[in-house]
Chains A and B, each alone.
Chain A
Amino acid sequence: MTDVLECADCGRRSFYSKRRCLDCGSDDLVDAPAGDGELLATTTVHITPEGVREPNALGLAAFPGGANVVAQLADAAAVGDTVRLTGERDLRTTDDGALRGCRLVPVE
């Protein structure tokens, strides 16, 4: 999750798996480092499914190249903060094992 998919043709980036670019339709997508993003919104979720921490603090962040992401917040962070996806960890437990990924962490 620290990487994004970048379109080799138009440069549009995305965090979420897909076969073709959202903007230009190219299938030439390559991995690229996500870099630093800006926190746009936060929420603290108090009713969560089994296997998910409760409360679950989430952030919506915008990264370079048009890549937005919703991810768990590691620490208290405010809208406008610079954030980074880091620290691969268990995010959620399921009957089939843990689902892993990164949390959003404020950058000094």
Chain B
Amino acid sequence: MSEHDHARDEPGGSRAGGRRPVIRGVGMTAFTGADGRPLGELLRIAAGRALRDADVSPETVDSVHVGNMAAEAFNERSGLANALVGELGMVGARAHRIENTSASGASAFQDAVMAVRDGPHDAALAVGGEQMSTVDTSTSTEIISRITHEGEYAQGITLPSFAGLAADRYLGVYGATRADLARVAVKNHSNALSNEYAQFNKRITVSDVVESPPVATPLRLYDCCPTGDGAAAVVITSKDASASDIDDVVEVAACESATGTHAVADRADPLAIESVRVAGTRAYETAGVGPGALDVACLHDAFTVLEWLEMEELGLAPDGEAWKRTRDGETAIDGGMPINPGGGLKARGHPLGATGLSQIVELVWQLRGDVPDERAVPGPERGLAVNVAGFGNNSVCTLLEVPA
């Protein structure tokens, strides 16, 4: 570890820019299947909570980054960032919207981190949100399927279709069972029981999962995250600028992203999600640590099988063995490598643009010890989040740590 620590302290080393971004405050709305309030209000509430948590006044925020995938399609609205700035009293700040499909939230976070790390901004607000309840399931499936390659779109392929194929292949190649896959959903539902911000607070069993209606075989309803409404926000400042005398800051050790092929079948290995592997490798290099240094992770479990594929891409399990970690309880809150202690996309919910930031919020709460005992990872010092656009089109990997 000593050479890593040394590399980190070198100016112009892997942490280019010289200023260390820290998370000063976080906040989110409770995710729900249908929140009656407008999208703009959800964004304002989440941002207001993060600002209060940070004890930062709005007029000091000089850079605003709003993550959202499809307000034009779901809400017939544009200009979200400009509206938010006016409402929050940040007129004059730089502001823009970031769209990276289902990873829009993490991309907004990455943009905010870079604004502070590389300057000239001193305080950045990243807020992400989506309101999907304005349309029925068939329409939201269609809106989301429009992110696919035209050759995929013509075949009627949806995001669950890719997950169904990946699950079929994973089970066939590695010998995991349908019940093993269900255990991912059972665990994440169990974790969400003590998360008042989660969309689902309902314990489920393996039989509930395997007997639920088929969505994209072998995947069933309880293998899939829900659609819903929500927003989440983070306030970032630089450590040297403001935070040396403040308790409870969490340091951004790395935030890196990578794109993958647009057409999923263009990947040499159809089970590989290369963008997760590349973003993860870059994040480990920037932070100067490896997967063994992690105490907790929030992965993009839009479908149960994705939790396994991402564990393997990120070095949290050898290829073909993530399912054993789940089966053996290693990924439970009291296991060796707790994954998705807040319930993940499966049970916390997946309001597209909000999700990446809700993962950061959960990690910060875990690292500060601000969660109920039932879902508190014991004494975590370092956590990872990965937010994935499409079925691996573009992934963002973040490493957070408690300052030494």
Contact = CB atoms under 8 A, between A and B. Distances in A.
Interface residues on A, range: 35 or more
A52 B160 CA distance: 14
B265 to A, nearest CB: 4
Interface of A is mostly: strand
Contacts of A66: 268
Interface in B163-185: 164-169, 172
B270 A40 contact: yes
Contact of B172 (A45, A59, A79, A92): A79
Interface string B245-277: 000000000000000011111111010000000
Contact of B154 (A47, A50, A101): A101
B30 interface: no
B172 to A, nearest CB: 6
Q: Which of B157, B160, B268, B270 has the most A CB atoms < 10 Å from its CB?
A: B157
A46 B214 contact: yes
B150 A60 contact: no
A79 B168 CA distance: 9
B80 to A, nearest CB: 26
Q: Which of A48, A56, A69 has the most B CB atoms < 10 Å from its CB?
A: A48
Given A16-B265, A70-B265, A45 B169 contact: no
B135 to A, nearest CB: 12
Interface residues on B, range: 35 or more
Contacts, number: 123
B155 A49 contact: no
A99 B165 contact: no
Given A48-B158, A50-B142, A42 B168 contact: yes
A16 B261 CA distance: 10
Interface of A: 1, 14-18, 22, 40-53, 56, 58-60, 62, 66, 68-72, 79, 91-92, 99-101
29 contacts: A16-B263, A22-B261, A22-B266, A40-B270, A41-B166, A41-B168, A41-B270, A43-B161, A43-B168, A44-B217, A45-B156, A45-B158, A46-B213, A47-B141, A47-B216, A49-B145, A53-B156, A58-B165, A60-B165, A60-B169, A66-B268, A68-B270, A70-B152, A70-B155, A70-B161, A70-B162, A79-B172, A92-B155, A99-B154
